[in-house]
Structure 1
Amino acid sequence: MKILITSVGSLVGQNILDVLEFSSFSRRSRVEVIGTNSVAASPQNFRCERVYLVGNTATEQFEADFTNILTVEKPDVILSGRDEDTFRVTQIVRDLGSDARLPYGTMSSLETALNKIKTFEFCQKHNLPFAETFLSDDSDYLTGLKCFAEKNSFPLIAKPIQGYASKGVFFVRNMDELAVASRLQGYMFQEYLGDGEALTEYFHSMEHLIPLFAHAPNIHHHSCHAIIHPDGTFDDIFISRNEHDSGVTIGFKRVEDKELERITAQFLRAIYTEGGYGPITVQFRHDRYGHWKAQEMNMRTNGNTFPRFMMGQDDLGEIINYLLPDADFPIYVPDKEMSKVLIGKTLKSCVLYPEQVCALSKSNKYSR
């Protein structure tokens, strides 16, 4: 079986490879891994049988590169390593008429997760709890935004409409900052989910010497993940509490919450009615009144794929078996109870040889 992983150098790419190569349940010999990446000096590149150096996803060069790879490699399954890959890769595959299978539904359902405004509108349409979001109308933009701030209180969150991985997301703490942020192009504004008053001391410290790595206190979220099958069914919903430090998840623990499970099931059913299926993750936090609200969602394998696998949710096995019913791909089941453990997330060091990077940089392809 040939699996193509786009942006294989990403955290998601590492998670997929770690799942395949897990020492207690290795399935690496069952697959041939093809990778694509726009960065040559990435350690994950050289864990693949072959890796191709491609242009950035948004460029015309990427489309040409990726079309050529599909023609040459003819992969059985394609998995996206980044949010921005998901829509573009799916579009290229379907336009080309490739036989490669992807765990995604309609293009419009993918846009629902990629575009933050569409996410909010989707939740409004299906009466799903989501962070209050400012949408401009025909009235004065800044006046409307100020009314939104007065209604929802500071701090607010400003984020790119087409953003990913928290890049470009920042706090808006007062009316002066709101006036500045309102001039940004391609941004949206949301209520802050959590206790805004708990950030007072942190905000005060940020008005003086700025730390190299900013760290707002008491930052965590609950991540609810499941796989929707093409027939609309889904198995267990995996709920984790993710602890953050300086913007990075460092602690990962499985939890049980019947209310979150119920709300997530509503999200899954609504997504399926819009033509979506495959891996779905919805991130939740409490608002200032203690009510669960979603702050974002994505529709791909993600950076928690390996820790979930260790705790008994084998995304990769499940996806492969519904995309390729005859594959009979083994499913991992832990030999001991894992629901009470805490998984610490960290970097894994590895050796990278200059001649490997040089070979990939020169020819745009490397085979091991």
Structure 2
Amino acid sequence: MKLLITAIGKRVQLIKYLKKNCTIVGVDAGDSAPAANFVNKFYKVPRFNDQNYMDYLLNICKKESIDLLIPLHEYEFDILCENRSKLKKIGTTLMLSHKKIIDICQNKLNTYRFFMENDIGSPRSYSENKILEVLENPNSEDNVKKFLEKEFKMRFPLIVKPINGMGSEGVFKVRNVKELKFFIDYIENPIIQQYIGGTEYTIDVLCDLKGDAISIVPRERLEVRSGEVSKTRTVMHKEIIEETYRLIKALTKSVSNEEKVSVIGPYTIQCKVTEDNKIKFIEINPRFGGGVPLTFESGVDYGKYFNMMVDGEKIEPIIGQFKEMTMLRYDDAIFIG
């Protein structure tokens, strides 16, 4: 089976694991992507916002007889969803959820509304418009704090981040009114979110082409460097697994039965477990996360299941079936003469 993976960048470990079961064609807008040295075939393509980007991908998929296309960069999701039918016509399945679900995941306020509508624990989130009015008035810092607590049930520290941000890019923890004003102005289209303390987890999820969860693996984030996890361990956390399963079911129901595409492929979901053991979900990302190699190593063979999906084989879920392991990452290099 042939996989085309976009924006491969530095995703060397991911490529190595998938190559065990699949032939990998990788594309990237840069010609010096480290992962280009590990795929079976590499193509340099325009950036996702170039008018010729989709034509390049379609031609590559046709030329290489690609079975599955897996995008790694969120900013290209919209154009790929728009061209799903064109990909299907040449025999390529887009391993990406329905556009309605992408809209829930990518817009952080939509994500928060989804959590609230489905009784899923989450930190309170608001657009800057709701809070700007009080900040623009010449109130004292104490009055602003009282207003935030009374009207929004939020107190410092707070989180300010882009409404359409990718991963932890542009996420700031603010401790006072001065910092809040600065980052609301600094970040384009920000949202303000209640800060939740506790232990942070990433959950790697794999769904089949019908929207059913195959695997759910929680990972405790032990150390993060430049927005990507550097130390992490898989944890058999029953409550997180159960709540994540319920979340996936709720996402599936957000698309009508008439739609043929639902929740499919890899997901990376963020949550925190508070000191009083409450689970608070923060983000839903419909793509592979940077720490997913640990989930491969813990026993979830994504490549095997991708093959089964393409062949139309029945897949039995393996939820809760993985080894508890720790991953410690380090830098490596490629030397090109």
Q: What TM-score, normalized by structure 1, do the two folds share?
A: 0.76
Residues 155, 192 of structure 1: 8 Å contact kept: yes
Task: Name the SS of the counterpart of 2:213 in structure 1.
Answer: coil
Task: Name the SS of the counterpart of 2:169 in structure 1.
Answer: coil
Question: Structure 1 residue 70 and structure 2 residue 68: aligned?
Answer: no
Paired residue type of 1:257: H
Alignment of 1:29-40 (within 5 A): 31-40=22-31
Q: CA RMSD in A?
A: 2.8
Higher relative contact order (CA 8 A, sep 6+): 1
Match of 2:217 in 1: 238
Equivalent of 1:285, from 254, 272, 276?
A: 272
Deviation at 1:192, TM superposition (A): 1.4
Unaligned runs of 5+ in 1: 196-219, 330-336, 354-368
Encode CA deviations 1:30-85: one digit per residue, 9 max, x unaligned.
Answer: x4321110111122112223222122223324234323323433311111122223
Encode CA deviations 1:214-242: one digit per residue, 9 max, x unaligned.
Answer: xxxxxx62122222223343234211112
Residues 154, 172 of structure 1: 8 Å contact kept: yes
Match of 1:163 in 2: 165
Match of 2:15 in 1: 17
Cα 1:323–1:302, aligned 2, differ >3 Å: closer, same or farther? Answer: farther
1: CA distance between counterparts of 2:55 and 2:325? 45
Equivalent of 1:94, from 76, 79, 85?
A: 85
Paired residue type of 1:34: V
Cα 1:64–1:178, aligned 2, differ >3 Å: closer, same or farther? Answer: same
Residues 71, 96 of structure 2: 8 Å contact kept: no
Match of 2:139 in 1: none
Equivalent of 1:177, from 167, 176, 179?
A: 179
Match of 1:343 in 2: 327
Q: What TM-score, normalized by structure 2, do the two folds share?
A: 0.82
Match of 1:131 in 2: 123
Residues 121, 279 of structure 2: 8 Å contact kept: yes
Match of 1:55 in 2: 46
Identity %: 20
Paired residue type of 2:112: F
Match of 1:110 in 2: 102
1: CA distance between counterparts of 2:131 and 2:112? 21
Unaligned runs of 5+ in 2: 137-143, 255-261, 316-320
Match of 2:141 in 1: none
Match of 1:363 in 2: none
| Number of residue pairs the alignment of both structures matches | 312
Paired residue type of 1:176: K
Moved more, 283-292 or 249-258: 283-292
Alignment of 1:192-207 (within 5 A): 192-194=195-197
Residues 18, 24 of structure 2: 8 Å contact kept: no
Deviation at 1:175, TM superposition (A): 0.7
Question: Structure 1 residue 263 and structure 2 residue 243: aligned?
Answer: yes
Encode CA deviations 1:144-183: one digit per residue, 9 max, x unaligned.
Answer: 8954466221111111111113111112211112222333
Task: Name the SS of the counterpart of 1:152 in structure 2.
Answer: coil
Equivalent of 2:252, from 272, 278, 281?
A: 272
2: CA distance between counterparts of 1:38 and 1:343? 29
Task: Name the SS of the counterpart of 1:283 in structure 2.
Answer: strand
Residues 36, 53 of structure 1: 8 Å contact kept: yes
